[in-house]
């Protein structure tokens, strides 16, 4: 194909992604209900939520696959609804449950996306070669898509999304169902591209650890509404009641119940090898636990305080339908 290289200018002043009052209805069902958020340049933004919470619907609106019922979307400085093609020239997308073209080779799949993004021949050849190398697909460049395992296909889809050097990368469950090695490689490459090239990443995932490891900020969506947006660290701190102390007694001894009772605002859970006491003041609980163990003649083998995991924050918010108070979010 002849190279026509009209490069739309990127508006550096605007956030990479901005959604205002974004709403999507399917008949009477409100799948996404007036959500607002902005994702800055070079940010990895996690979008978490239980099944049916509205994650994929949100991504499909942000990538222009479906229009919102109401609201506005700005991507890479472009109004997505009035300039969809110009905006999408700055995007790389790996949709949920997407696939590669089974009858094209690995290289042809990548080159096709590069051509659809209007890359000149030299640049698409360079980019394709570099990405296939990075994702460990160079030796399989001549293989058909149908010959690849699920993990390799997912790597190829990332190559296809990245070949146009996008400013914004949308990843919908990119490591779902993959083996450890592929998941790890994908996470490493995403982190490296964000670090070295400043690419903005919008990541939806069920894997809370993945979000915790990769994301600068996360949003938790529940029943179509944003329940919380903040850094993983700040979100953990918002759920004070899920701070805890974990204790294990020597020889697996079982202490009397009153020794582990710290009042109505705490909760004690028995683990396979020990106990975890949840409470807002884990330092105080740990100190008191040590005193009680001494007085009851128990020897402590391990004792440490824990901040809540992002998974616990997620479960706390989504299971109770709780919305973190406005002062505790950082939207």
Partner 1 sequence: MPENRPYTETFLWQGRAALVVAKKNVMIYYLKPPVITFGVIFPLFFYLAFAAGHAGPVEAMVPGITSMALFFTASAVGPLVTPWERQAKTYERLVTSPASLSAILTGDVLAGMLFGALLSVLPLAIGLSATDARIVSAPQLLIGVVLGAVAFSALGVLLSAPASDTPSQVMMLSNLVRLPVIFVSGVFIPLAQMPAWGRWLAPLSPLSYSADLVRVGFGETRYFPLWVDVAALVGFTVAFLWSAHLLHRRTRDRAL
Where do contacts with partner 1 occur on this chain (CB under 8 A)?
1-2, 4, 6, 8-11, 26, 57, 60, 63-67, 77-79, 83-86, 88-89, 91, 93-95, 97-104, 108, 112-113, 115-118, 157, 160
Residues 6+ apart with CB under 8 A from 46: 203, 204, 205, 211, 214, 215, 217, 218, 219, 232
Nearer to partner 1, 10 or 38 (CB): 10
Closest contact distance (angstroms) between CB of 42 and partner 1 is 19
Closest contact distance (angstroms) between CB of 221 and partner 1 is 17
Closest contact distance (angstroms) between CB of 292 and partner 1 is 58
User: What is the SS3 assignment for the chain?
Assistant: CCCCCCCCCCCCCCCCEEEEEEEEEECCEEEEEEEEEEECCCCEEEEECCCCCCHHHHHHHHCCCCCCCEEEEEECCEECCCCHHHHHCCEEEECCCCCCCCCCEHHHHHHHHHHHCCCCHHHHHHHHHHHHHHCCCHHHCCCEHHHCCHHHHHHHHHHHHHCCCCCEEEEECCCCCCCHHHHHHHHHHHHHHHHHHCCEEEEECCCHHHHHHHCCEEEEEECCEEEEEECHHHHHHHCHHHCEEEEEEHHHCCCCHHHHCCCCCCEEEEECCEEEEECCCHHHHHHHHHHHHHHHCCCEEEEEEECCCHHHHHHHHHHHCCCCCHHHCCC
Nearer to partner 1, 101 or 303 (CB): 101
Nearer to partner 1, 55 or 243 (CB): 55
**Which phi and psi angles does 150 have, rounded to 5°?**
-60, -45
Nearer to partner 1, 42 or 95 (CB): 95
Nearer to partner 1, 69 or 305 (CB): 69
Closest contact distance (angstroms) between CB of 173 and partner 1 is 13
Closest contact distance (angstroms) between CB of 243 and partner 1 is 41
Nearer to partner 1, 85 or 291 (CB): 85
Closest contact distance (angstroms) between CB of 169 and partner 1 is 12
- b/e per residue, 146-158, with b = 16+ CB within 10 A? eebeebbbbbbbb
Nearer to partner 1, 35 or 113 (CB): 113
Closest contact distance (angstroms) between CB of 197 and partner 1 is 20
Nearer to partner 1, 89 or 140 (CB): 89
Closest contact distance (angstroms) between CB of 316 and partner 1 is 31
């Amino acid at each position: 194909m002849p190279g026509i290289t009209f490069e739309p200018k990127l508006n550096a002043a605007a956030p990479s992604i901005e959604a205002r009052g974004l709403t999507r209805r399917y008949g009477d069902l409100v799948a996404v209900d007036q959500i607002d958020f902005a994702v800055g340049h070079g940010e990895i933004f996690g979008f978490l939520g239980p099944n049916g919470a509205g994650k994929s619907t949100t991504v499909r609106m942000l990538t222009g696959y479906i229009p919102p019922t109401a609201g506005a979307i700005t991507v890479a400085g472009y109004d997505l609804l009035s300039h969809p093609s110009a905006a999408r020239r700055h995007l790389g997308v790996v949709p949920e449950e997407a696939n590669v073209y089974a009858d094209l080779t690995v290289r042809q799949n990548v080159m096709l996306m590069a051509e659809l993004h209007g890359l000149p021949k030299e640049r698409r050849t360079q980019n394709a070669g570099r990405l296939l190398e990075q994702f460990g697909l160079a030796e399989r460049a001549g293989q058909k898509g149908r010959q690849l395992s699920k993990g390799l296909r997912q790597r190829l889809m990332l190559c296809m999304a990245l070949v146009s050097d996008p400013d914004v990368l949308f990843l919908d469950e990119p490591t779902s169902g993959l083996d450890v090695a592929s998941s790890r490689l994908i996470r490493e490459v995403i982190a490296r591209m964000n670090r070295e090239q400043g690419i903005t990443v919008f990541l939806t995932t069920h894997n809370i650890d993945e979000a915790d490891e990769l994301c600068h900020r996360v949003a938790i969506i529940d029943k179509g509404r944003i329940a919380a947006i903040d850094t993983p660290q700040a979100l953990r701190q918002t759920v004070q009641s899920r701070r805890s102390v974990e204790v294990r007694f020597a020889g697996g001894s079982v202490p009397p119940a009153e020794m582990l009772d710290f009042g109505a605002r705490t909760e004690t859970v028995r683990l396979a090898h020990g106990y975890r006491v949840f409470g807002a003041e884990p330092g105080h609980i740990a100190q008191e636990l040590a005193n009680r163990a001494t007085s009851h003649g128990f020897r402590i083998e391990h004792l440490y305080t824990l901040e809540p995991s992002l998974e616990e924050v997620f479960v706390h918010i989504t299971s109770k339908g709780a919305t973190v108070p406005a002062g505790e979010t950082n939207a």
